[in-house]
Amino acid sequence: MLLFSINRARQSFMNKIRIKIAGLSYSQTRSGAYALILEEEDGNHRRLPVIIGTAEAQSIAIQLENLKPYRPLTHDLFVSMANSFRIEVLEVNIIKLEEGIFYSEIVCKREHAIIKIDSRTSDAVAIALRFHAPIYVTEEIMDKAAMVFDDENQTVEKDESETKEDTYNFQNLTEEELKKKMDEAVKNEEYELASLIRDELKKRRKNK
């Protein structure tokens, strides 16, 4: 029955909407989880929150921040294997929402064959980022689960992020010291701290 339901969703995946990652935030409703916020690319301010695990959130955050982990993560291993066997990821589709669970598929190409792989949405997004592949969702899912954020909400989110950065004091550190701290943070898998240090370095270079 579930297989039939998923197949029906795939067949009706006609009116799809391209989405992008708007951000990651700690889940207020589920301990130890994160909310992956997906947003329409056409600027309609509709956002789709998807609850994901810590490991998947970390993997997505690393790719968003262009950080290189000390050792390859599972999604990096998938990329290496796909490249070794000449498999290309064309796109990721969020095809179904049932009882609060999002169902996704990774659309791959190998030679002349198109292959669709069932996947958790968090894994599919992490892989799409690494292949620079587009992410799509159905209009039906957006109508059912998306939320609309106005400019005021976006400003509040930005202010909260800026406040969080203020908790770290980088002013008394040289650029060389910051680079060492960033390398240490990546090695210790403290990717949030590494991204903040990276932003501080960018800010200093821009002001020179």
To 10 degrees, what angle do helices 74-84 and 121-131 make?
Answer: 60
Element (H, E) at 109: strand 101-110
Residue 3: CA count within 13 A, CB half-sphere: 0
pTM over 0.85, yes/no: no
Q: What is the pLDDT of residue 168?
A: 60
Q: How confident is the model at residue 149 (pLDDT cuts 50, 70, 90)?
A: low
Question: What's the pLDDT at 15?
Answer: 81
- Give the pLDDT confidence of 40-55 residue by residue, as tens digits: 998 777 899 999 999 9
19 contacts 105 by C-beta, under 8 angstroms: no
> In terms of pLDDT, which residue wins out, 204 or 187?
204
Q: What is the pLDDT of residues 150-189, one digit of tens each?
A: 544 443 333 333 334 444 678 888 999 988 888 887 777 6
How many C-beta atoms lie closer than 10 Å to residue 205's C-beta? Answer: 9
* pLDDT of 133 strictly over 70: yes
- For residue 55, the model assigns a pLDDT of 93
Cα–Cα separations (whole angstroms), residue 187 to 66, 116, 150, 167: 14, 35, 38, 22
Asked if 96 contacts 6 with a C-beta cutoff of 8 angstroms, the reply is yes
The alpha-helical segments, DSSP class H, found in 65-171 are 74-84, 121-131, 139-145, 151-166
Residue 37 tokens read as 């916020």
The token pair at 125 is: 């997004």
